[in-house]
Amino acid sequence: VTVTANGDVIFNWLPSTSNQTQGYVIYNYLVGSGNAVPIDTVYGQFSTTYTDIVRDPTVQVLNYTIAAFDSCQQFGSYSNLYHNTLFLQASTGACQNQVNLNWNKYIHWPQGVLDYQVWASINGGPFNQVGSVDSSLDNYAYSNFNDGDSLCIIIRARSRADTNIISNSNMVCLRASIIKAPSFIFITNATVGL
């Protein structure tokens, strides 16, 4: 499950091995209850991509699971091993000269997450990797920018099993505002006391 540059959520899965498969039901997985609410249907055994253009990954974590069905409309059970979007939040510390990044962990890749990479675009430039943390962390303090820079930041999780399998977070954009200490003091007058 990943968030696209335009804010949609797209996800892929492996096709069902049953030749009787006619399609898949897409579910919004409700973590607290363990229930799932159907949100859409994808037809075809080898149709294994879905784009959610309705739910907003910039306001919360979104959780998904699927179930296959056959031509008799018999539905398999959905998996409790749901996958989720990465929800990035950022706060600035003007006196600290940094942007504090926090996100939720990506779960249920078979071999887990290798690492989380921090990617940033400065003043509309291309995205470049500016940092990374291991899979045990869910935060990063980014500070390689200038006062007034326009920043757009995403977090990218990489699968331990295959680093080509990634999940991008929602994009957070902000203008950097940092307080700089004076670099010099200009004295205009000096007197000697008697």
Q: pLDDT per residue over 59-113, tens digit each?
A: 999 999 999 999 898 999 998 899 999 999 999 866 778 899 999 999 999 999 9
Q: What CA–CA distance (Å, rounded) separates 160 from 109? A: 8
Q: How many alpha carbons lie under 13 Å from residue 164 in its C-beta half-sphere?
A: 0
138: Cβ–Cβ under 8 A, 6 or more apart, which residues? 102, 103, 104, 105, 116
Q: Assess whether pLDDT exceeds 80 at residue 45.
A: yes
Contact predicate 72/66, CB 8 Å: no
Q: pLDDT per residue over 110-153, tens digit each?
A: 999 999 999 999 999 999 999 999 999 999 999 888 888 999 99
Q: What CA–CA distance (Å, rounded) separates 167 from 114? A: 12
In degrees and rounded to multiples of 5, residue 128 shows phi and psi of -130, 150
pLDDT of residue 193: 67
Residue type, position 184, single letter: F
pLDDT of residue 146: 87
